[in-house]
Structure 1
Amino acid sequence: MFVGNWAAIDPLVLTVFNSLGIFPLVFLTLLLRNDNKRWPAWPFSLVSFAAGAFALLPYFAFGNRPPERTIRTPKFLLHLLRSKTWLIFLIVITVANLITLQNGISIDSYMDTFNASQLVSVMTVDWFVLWGLSVYAVYQFYPEARMKELAFIPIAGPPLVLLINSKKQAGFQ
């Protein structure tokens, strides 16, 4: 399917594929800003670049226990992940990814590709699981955040919630 003829690929398939590369950046941001749980979040976040939601599920299932220590993320990385510039970057690349949809989408074409390609089937399931986990992460790790409902906006929502709440508020990381 992905053999170099980009014009032949359904735009929605391409957008979903590209967004699977953006989701791990969102999870790096969500998890490493609060990396004080039982298991370190960084290995799961990094492996999610290759394995998607399958890498994050064990962390959310078993490693997401009450805080046992101070945040273990290096200060320079924490500073980057908490910066407005980084959050805006995540939102911009998400919007840029949506530009591939400017010529319209065909759900029928996507469904045909979904049924014909195991890759697209797995990508689609992975996308929905990552979306659900990103919403869960916002509600779990940022309970005091305002406008958490925005986390339901796929990919850009969680960084948007963090951006809206990025002012120095008591207890907000």
Structure 2
Amino acid sequence: MRIVFAVLWLGLIVYSFGFAPPDHPQTLVLIQRLATGDWQGINPLIVSLFNLMGVWPLIYTALLVVDGQEQRFPAWPFAVLSFAVGVFALLPYFILRRPAPIFTGEINRGVRLGESRITATGIGLLAVGCLGYGLIAGNWADFWQQWQTSRFVHVMTLDFCLLSLLFPFLLVDDWQRRGIENSPWRWWSVVPLLGALGYLLLRPPLILSKKSVA
């Protein structure tokens, strides 16, 4: 799979900067307005998508605080960078990581925060709010036009889709770390976004190894 992830990462970079629609002079202004909450006149679908691109890194981080402890390198740089560049930062993690079906790390503050139902609830409410705003108030015809003509909107949409598709590759090990690798309900967690949110909220606790308990 590492080769597949590497090819996907390189292909995404080449496509984004070589074949995606051209960039617009006003892209930086649009990003600044989206980041500062100046949303008047902006299609709610684009506002929603932009904010969901901040929710996905939160979802990934809730798993990386555990998965990263089983790797030979820290996961936090990839998680932090994903808030800025999304899947462009996370794909290198997938390339470098090794399977980690058993948790032998430390139950530190980051793990407790990532495992917290309060954290999961907060992420879920934020995501549902963004999603509902876009679906109810958004203009699909305008979004489709901007997807065809704006590199920022085009690549951001592609980024969102890839984050949704890659998440299950982290789930496989996390299922085993919690003893639900044979549970039929686990398949609901691979549903894009909503499944991930439900998984964070309903997943059972980690099965701790002797090393973790010690």
The residue aligned with 1:163 is: 201
The answer to whether residue 44 in structure 2 is matched with residue 11 in structure 1 is yes
Q: In the TM superposition, what whole-angstrom CA distance separates every residue of 1:130-162 from its partner, at most 9, and x where no partner exists?
A: 111222221233244342223233334224213
Structure with greater proportional helix content? 2
Counterparts of 1:26 and 1:108, CA distance in 2:
29
Structure 1: stretches of 5+ with no match in the other structure:
none
The answer to whether residue 170 in structure 2 is matched with residue 153 in structure 1 is no
The answer to whether residue 67 in structure 2 is matched with residue 40 in structure 1 is no
The answer to whether residue 88 in structure 2 is matched with residue 58 in structure 1 is no
Q: Which has the larger radius of gyration?
A: 2
Distance 1:169 1:81, change over 3 A: closer
Secondary structure of the equivalent of 2:136? coil
Alignment of 1:71-86 (within 5 A): 71=105, 75-86=108-119
Q: Matched residue pairs, number?
A: 171
Alignment of 1:59-138 (within 5 A): 59-66=93-100, 70-71=104-105, 75-101=108-134, 103-138=136-171
8 Å CA contact retained: 2:45, 2:135: no
Counterparts of 1:163 and 1:102, CA distance in 2:
23
Kindly provide the amino acid, as one letter, of the partner of residue 196 in structure 2: P
Counterparts of 1:19 and 1:171, CA distance in 2:
32
8 Å CA contact retained: 2:189, 2:196: yes
Which of 142, 162, 165 pairs up with 2:175? 142
Distance 1:60 1:171, change over 3 A: same
Secondary structure of the equivalent of 2:81? helix
Distance 1:154 1:65, change over 3 A: closer
8 Å CA contact retained: 1:10, 1:109: yes
Structure 2: stretches of 5+ with no match in the other structure:
1-26
The residue aligned with 2:11 is: none
Distance 1:42 1:169, change over 3 A: closer
Which of 30, 54, 57 pairs up with 1:21? 54
TM-score normalised over the length of structure 2: 0.69
Moved more, 52-61 or 6-15: 6-15
Moved more, 144-153 or 133-142: 144-153
The residue aligned with 2:18 is: none
8 Å CA contact retained: 2:82, 2:88: yes
Counterparts of 1:22 and 1:28, CA distance in 2:
10
8 Å CA contact retained: 1:37, 1:67: no
